[in-house]
Amino acid sequence: MAQGAPLSAIRNEALDDPSAGAAEVHPVTASAVRVKSPRDLRTERRRRSHSCWDHLIAAPLWPLHNANLGTLLRTCDAVGACLAVPRLPWVPEALARGNTLRKPACVHWTGDQLTWLAKQQARDDTTIVGAELADEAIRLADLPTARNRTVLVLGHERDGIPPDAVALLDLAVEIPMIGTGASLNVAVAGSLVLLCTSLERVMQFAQRASRSEFKFTLDLHQHLFEQM
């Protein structure tokens, strides 16, 4: 189907496609979808970067690919999270290059990863969540919203979270998959878990900005997570 084709033509193509099986196709009219204007987005978004809220912290403590750090930094901006990373020689440059918003970002420098993580685990107000394939892991859809200070630990691209760090986790979460890959990359996995743990807060912010569209968006996200 050519780009820009009418929605009615797309619907007819779906009906004629045998691979669609018995899936129900609902008629869609051109007026059903309204793309938000730049003015709408400026109204709904924060005008400046958030300060250090120290509530939700994404911690890719064993990064391998610099592009993933830039992607994760963008997600942190979207959900109001901080980023905690070790000061490896290439990390500052990777963050500077990956910060496509060109605005200050909240970055916590950890030093030794296990030492930093042990200090977080010792805090009474903090929950340590690890994105890891484990027998005791809960599924992503069952992960509750972060009610207290939460650190999301993300492991090495190939080896995952080291055993010494796994011992410091309060909770492990697994992202269900049906493909052939063993896991997602750090940026994708981290973004999914960050969205899940911050969904309620993000939606509350959106509600203040645009109440008419809030309920539909929240119901859609809840439906997607229930299917995972």
Is 90 in contact with 65 (CB distance < 8 Å)? Answer: no
The highest-confidence range among 51-55, 211-215, 222-226, by mean pLDDT, is: 51-55
Residue 31 has pLDDT above 70, yes or no: no
Q: Please, what are the domains in the chain?
A: 56-199 (3.40.1280.10)
What is the token pair recorded at 214?
């809030």
* Pairwise CA distance, residues 150 & 153, whole Å: 10
Q: What is the mean pLDDT of residues 174-181?
A: 86
Is 18 exposed, middle or buried, given 0-12, 13-18 or 19+ CB atoms closer than 10 A? exposed
Q: What is the pTM of this model?
A: 0.69
- The secondary element (H helix, E strand) that includes residue 165 is helix 163-166
More confident: 211 or 50: 50
More confident: 52 or 12: 52
What is the token pair recorded at 59?
């911690």
What is the token pair recorded at 19?
């691979």
Closest listed residue to residue 195, CA positions, set 146, 137, 124, 151: 146
Residue 114 has pLDDT above 70, yes or no: yes
More confident: 114 or 32: 114
